[in-house]
Structures are given as C-alpha cells and as structure tokens.
Amino acid sequence: MSGHRIERTTEDIRRELTAIFRELKDPRVTTAFLSIVRVEVTNDLSYCTVYVSAIEGLDRAKEAVKGLKSAGGFIRRELGRRLRLRHVPELIFTPTDSIEYSANISRILNSLDITESEESDDESSDV
C-alpha cells in the first residue's frame, strides 16, 4: 500500500476515533479529558496503535485505556462502519503522559521571570 494512502487512512482513523470516544458511555472514558496523541497503522492495516493521553495524568490515562479496551469491539465495529474498510485493524490502546508533560513544561516556562524589557534587550543585542 502506498505511503500517502496509509497516511490518509491514519488521519481518517484518528478523526473517527475522536468522534467515537465522545459516544462511549463508560465512566472511565467519559470522565477523563482524553486526547489522541498519535495513531500508527501497520502497512497491511492489521494493527493500529492509538496513543491516548489524559490531562489529569498518566494514571488517569491508564484507567481510560482499560475502558477503551473493554469497549474495543464496539469501537472497532463503529470504525469499520464509518470508514467502510474491508479489513478493520485491531486496535491497541497505549497510555502516554504527553499532555501532562507539555503542561509541566508550560508551567516552568511561565514561572521564569522574564520581563518585556529583558526580551527587547536580548533582541537588540542579537542584531
């Protein structure tokens, strides 16, 4: 399968999974603020790894992944129905802490005491 088709299918899967996650009724999934960080599909479309992150942290993402795994059959059926794929890949949900990590970096950057006058001095010295 060509590279651009895999990329297009990956984006389609990501878009539809986001919509399907909103329809789930499992409290482990609905109470968490989830984000699909990355979707990787094998070349033969047999496996799809979905990296999921929660703003509440890695522990919350792990709980949400348990809920997603229990709803895996429903998610896979809905994905096949919406995308009209001949072979729907097996979904592998993996928790990550990337949202928490990026929020921590943002907090650190915001805590630095850099005033606007220091920024303009740095810019003028670079020229």
Q: pLDDT tens-digit profile of 73-125? A: 999 999 999 998 888 999 999 999 887 778 788 888 888 877 666 666 666 66
Structure tokens at 81: 């129905």
What is the mean predicted confidence (pLDDT) over 19-38? Answer: 89
Please tell me the pTM assigned to this model.
0.76
Domain ranges for the chain, please list them: 3-97
What is the mean predicted confidence (pLDDT) over 15-29? Answer: 91
Which ranges constitute the DSSP H helices of the chain?
A: 3-23, 27-30, 58-70, 72-83, 98-111, 116-126
Measure the CA–CA gap between 53 and 61, rounded to whole angstroms. Answer: 6
Which top CATH class is 3-97?
Answer: alpha beta
If pLDDT is split at 50, 70 and 90, which confidence band does 32 have? Answer: confident
